Amino acid sequence: MEKVYRERHQIPFFQCDSHKRLKLSAANAYFAEIAGWAFRKRGLSHEMLWERGFVFLVSKIHIRFFQPVVAYDVVEMHTWEKEIRGAAFVRDFEAVNEKGETLFAATSDWIAVNPLTRKIHRPSEFFGEGNFFQKEIGVEDCKRLRMHEGEPLGELKVLYSHLDANGHLHNATYADLIMDVLPVSYRDRFVTGYEMNYLHEAKEGDLIRFFGLFEENTVMVKGLLQDRECFIAKLTFE
């Protein structure tokens, strides 16, 4: 069985920001999407998993950007299952150009939950066989992020257009909301690193309050649903 799943894409204009660079949310969305297609190729479609009481939700992701990716670039996306670590299914990704150079790469932790009860499944309960592969991609393992409340950055309501097929705020859309609340000066800077911990799902109508901690090249952002942490993110800028 093929251990690495590959897809070739030409970056569309609408997935880029005002500098014609691939949006952080779009890079995140590509990884989430090809993870689903990699499972589907193994006969583990979203529909079949749902019927058996399984849905995979990303709990942490760490992305590094080595070169800017701009509109109309041709990129080959790769993904593979790295290992099981505790309750997490670890999956890695990389995106390379036509010369084989790595443009951006990521590692991610996923948990399997019951789609109705949200009860977490142990990895031993998953009926699919592991198809593990190891490769050095230059990205540190996901870690638990912690931050103090920081300064208020505003609040945003979760809208219907933000939802995915699981009925909650899509994991990639968090990056768009974070960029929306950051000071305008950060929009001109190249993001070299993005770490995200998803702590509590947000649904339509929820109000997320954003708080930030700023250093020279690093920003920590926390989102709160009432008094509960929704997410914590760390962005590194060039």
Instruction: Give strand pairing partners of 191.
Output: 237
169 three-state secondary structure:
strand
Question: Which pLDDT score is estimated for 131?
Answer: 84
By three-state DSSP, how is residue 176 classified? helix
Summarize the confidence of residues 208-218 as an average pLDDT: 96
Alpha carbon distance 93, 219 (integer Å): 24
CB 209 within 8 A of CB 155: yes
Query: Can you tell me the mean pLDDT for 148-158?
Result: 94
Whether 126 shows a pLDDT value over 90: the answer reads: no
d(CA 230, CA 37): 27
The domains located in the chain, with CATH, are 5-125 (3.10.129.10), 151-237 (3.10.129.10)
Per DSSP bridges, beta strands 191-198 and 151-157 are: unpaired
- List, in sequence order, every beta strand (DSSP E) within the chain: 5-10, 55-65, 74-85, 88-96, 102-113, 151-157, 191-198, 207-214, 218-225, 228-237
Least confident segment among 32-41, 88-97, 136-145: 32-41
Mean pLDDT of 73-100: 96
- Tokens matching residue 225: 């649903």
pTM of the model: 0.94
